[in-house]
Amino acid sequence: MAEPIRVLVTGAAGQIAYSLLYSIAKGDVFGKDQPIILVLLDITPMLPVLDGVVMELQDCALPLLREVIPTDKVEVGFKDLDAAILVGSMPRKEGMERKDLLKANVAIFKTQGEALEKYAKKTVKVLVVGNPANTNCLIASKSAPSIPKENFSCLTRLDHNRARSQVAIRVGVPSDSVKNVIIWGNHSSTQYPDVHHAIVNNHGKEMSGFDAVNDESWLKGDFITTVQQRGAAVIKARKLSSAMSAAKAICDHMRDIWFGTPDGEWVSMGIYSTGNSYGVPDDLMYSFPVMIKNKTWKVVDGLSINDFSRGKMDGTAAELVEERDTALTFLGA
C-alpha cells in the first residue's frame, strides 16, 4: 500500500468539516488505496468538540484512516502536509463592515500562510474555503513565497455545481448531462455563472446550453441571480450556511486536483491570475475554467467572450481588485 499522506482540515469542529471528514477518510477524495493521516486544526475553545469528532471518526472504523491528530497549534497542524483544506475563517457577524471582516481574515490567513511556508511540504496543495475565499487565498499564498502560487486555489466548485444543477433541472436531465459551465471571478454575489460554452446531453442529443434551455432571458437573468445568491437562500431557509453541498464541492475540487479532469471537460476554480488571455488583471485569485492533468491546472484559453460576458467578468474583477488592495493595506500594517 502507498505511504500515508497528511491532510489538514482547519475549522475542523465546524459544520462543513463535519460533512467533509468522513468522505476524505473513506477514500472518496484521494483514492481508495491511499492511507491518510488526518490533521484537525481549530481554535482552543473548540478542542472539546474536536475530541467528539475524533471519537466519531474512530467509530467509523475506516481502514484508510491511519491516524487522527486534533490540535490548536499551527506547528503541529501544518507539519509535512501533502494537502491543506482551509475551511476555518472569521464569519461575518451582523452589523459587521466588509472591511472589518477582511481585516480579521487577513490576520488569520497571513498566520496560516506563514505556517505553510515554515512547516508544510513545498509540494502541498492548498484549497481555501473560508470566506472571503479568493482574497484569503491570495493572502495565504503571498505569506508562503517559497510554495508555488499554482499550488493555491480557492473554492468556486460549489457555485459551478449549483450552475450545473440549475441548468439540468431546467432542461429535465441528470446533472452529469451538463458540462462546461463556468464560474468567472469572485466567490461572492458578483460572480458570473456563464453557460455560453456549456454542452448539454439532452436525452441523447448533444447541444449547447442556450439551445437546450431555450430561454435566453432566464439564462441572462434569474439563472445568474439564483446561483449568485444561492448561499444566502440556504442560510435564510436553514438558518445555517451550506455545509453538505460545500463539503461535496470540496471533495470534487480536491479529487480533480489529485486525479485530473475528464477529457474535454473543465471545472471552475479560483486560481492565481497571471498573463491570461481574458484580460483579467494579474495578481488576483480569480475563478477560471481549468483542465487538470498530473496535479497541474491549465486555464482553458481562447473561449469567445461576448459583450454581456465581458461586462460581468470585469465587474467581478473590479470587486476582487478592491478587496485585494484593502487586504494588502492590512497585510502591510
Say whether 162 counts as a known binding-site residue: yes
| Residue 197 is among the residues annotated as catalytic for this protein | no
CB 290 within 8 A of CB 153: no
The distance of Cα 65 from the centroid of its chain, to the nearest Å, equals 24
Say whether 129 counts as a known binding-site residue: yes
Q: Read off the C-alpha cell for 118.
A: 515554515
Distance, first Cα to last Cα, the chain: 48
Choice among 160, 187, 197, 253 that is catalytic? 187
Q: Read off the C-alpha cell for 131.
A: 470566506
Using the structure block, give the residue that is written with the C-alpha cell 452529469: 176
Say whether 92 counts as a known binding-site residue: yes
Say whether 42 counts as a known binding-site residue: yes
How many angstroms separate the most distant Cα atoms in the chain? Answer: 58
Say whether 238 counts as a known binding-site residue: no
Please tell me the distance from the alpha carbon of residue 64 to that of residue 1, in angstroms, as a whole number.
10
- Name residue 199's beta-bridge partners: 179, 208
CB 85 within 8 A of CB 112: no
Say whether 6 counts as a known binding-site residue: no
Residue 255: Cβ-neighbour burial (10 angstroms; 0-12, 13-18, 19+): middle
Residue numbering of the annotated binding site: 42, 92, 98, 105, 129-131, 162
Active site (catalytic) residues = 187
Known binding-site residues for substrate equal 92, 98, 131, 162
